[in-house]
Structure 1
Amino acid sequence: MASIAKGVRGRPRSEAVERSIVEGVLKMIEDGVPLTDLSIERIARTAGVGKATIYRRWSGKEELFVDVMRSLDDPPPELAGESMRGDLTTLLDHVRRRGVNLRSSALLHNVFAQAKSLPKLWDAYQQIVIEPQRRVMLDVLRRGVENGELRADVDLLLANDLIVGPMLARTVLRSDAPLDDDLAERIVDTVLAGLRPPLRPTG
């Protein structure tokens, strides 16, 4: 795992040690421990290392949490590029699968719940997880305008929110809501029904 922290010069880094620390944090998050309750002492005790071992790799727990988020984040999925609808469905299903995954879902709920108390972590989550996916989706929507799949007057930022919003509502705000396999497809089709150009009369 590539940590963002600076190690002590000349000291060999142990991937196994870093992984045990990250795994310890993830296990506690899965068990429902709030991020604000995860002290360096508690993390060190869970990982079976000394506090100095953690501080050699991360300046504090917020920097450590950034690497924890990075360890769970998958890059945006590869897109077929055959249609705007198909690519939007692929991207949105990536969000759905993150909600289904126990670890990433627990971390997502923790980050959202404590965004105000850990602003640096929230900013990092935006940069690491949200922004890369947002850029890709906006590119797909722009391509949809260019090839006539989407109306030219559509506000693309708003369209992005209309597509992603319902999935975030189910993965973050409504933990009891079902995340069916075809949910991404149904959301995309519902939104696009109001954003596509009107059909031209034939004849």
Structure 2
Amino acid sequence: MAAPSVERTARTAGVGKATVYRRWPGTEELLVDLLRSAGPVRPEPPGTSVRDGLVVLPEAVRPRGEARRSSAALHTASAQLHGHPRLREAYRRTVVEPHRRAALDVLRRGVAAGEIRPDADVELLADLLGGPLVLRAAAAPGADLGGDLPALIVDTVLSGAAVRR
């Protein structure tokens, strides 16, 4: 797979390099913007139950995973993350971290409301909520990402973190 470049992007789009450079200072910024465009950066969980707030989060990741599978541009941009530390850091900062903060906010609200055990590791719970969809999207082409999967993930994680009554 050829590395993306501003030159190749401009040629494919049928514009001059200056047109691309007016919007993006370089290839890394262009790729981050492309990856960011695949879905909502930070979903807004409803202020209802912790479960409802958490189900929104993997549901927001699902279209991003499906888009990466079907879009050659997104697949190429995703593949570039591994070899470009600055790109990976920009992606983490602008795409991954806002989503993770949303999950942590909901989980901490759950601890404060008494729905999640106070000794629960909310950092680990946030990883457990996002991991299954990311793994399926990246490592299991064709795996089902839809249906009840987001709710199943949340229910499974919460069953281990819930306060026992």
* Structure 2 partner of 1:3: none
* Structure 2 partner of 1:127: 93
Q: Determine the C-alpha separation between the residues in 2 that align with 1:106 and 1:165.
A: 23
**Which residue, out of 36, 42, 51, partners 1:76?**
42
- Contact 1:72 / 1:104 at 8 angstroms: preserved in 2? no
**Which residue, out of 4, 16, 22, partners 1:50?**
16
**Which residue, out of 147, 153, 159, partners 2:125?**
159
Structure 1 gap ranges (5+): 1-33
Deviations 1:138-179 (A, max 9, x none): 010001001111000011101111111111111222122111
- Contact 1:84 / 1:144 at 8 angstroms: preserved in 2? yes
* Structure 2 partner of 1:140: 106
- Contact 2:55 / 2:150 at 8 angstroms: preserved in 1? yes
Q: Give the Å deviation of 1:39.
A: 2.5
**Which residue, out of 152, 158, 165, partners 1:186?**
152
- Contact 1:92 / 1:167 at 8 angstroms: preserved in 2? yes
CA gap 1:195/1:104 in 2 versus in 1, 3 angstroms: farther
* Identical counterparts, % of pairs: 50
**Which residue, out of 125, 135, 139, partners 1:173?**
139
Alignment length, in residue pairs?
A: 165
Structure 2 gap ranges (5+): none
Q: Give the Å deviation of 1:70.
A: 3.5
CA gap 1:105/1:55 in 2 versus in 1, 3 angstroms: closer
* Structure 1 partner of 2:64: 98
Q: Determine the C-alpha separation between the residues in 2 that align with 1:108 and 1:153.
A: 39
- Contact 1:142 / 1:156 at 8 angstroms: preserved in 2? yes
CA gap 1:130/1:102 in 2 versus in 1, 3 angstroms: closer
Structure 1 or 2: more helix by fraction: 2
Higher radius of gyration, 1 or 2: 1
- Contact 1:151 / 1:195 at 8 angstroms: preserved in 2? yes
- Contact 2:39 / 2:63 at 8 angstroms: preserved in 1? no
Q: Determine the C-alpha separation between the residues in 2 that align with 1:131 and 1:106.
A: 24
Q: TM-score, normalised by structure 1?
A: 0.72
Q: TM-score, normalised by structure 2?
A: 0.86
Deviations 1:92-142 (A, max 9, x none): 111112222357865664444332322211111111110111101101000
Q: Give the Å deviation of 1:80.
A: 2.2
* Structure 1 partner of 2:5: 39
**Which residue, out of 30, 36, 54, partners 1:64?**
30
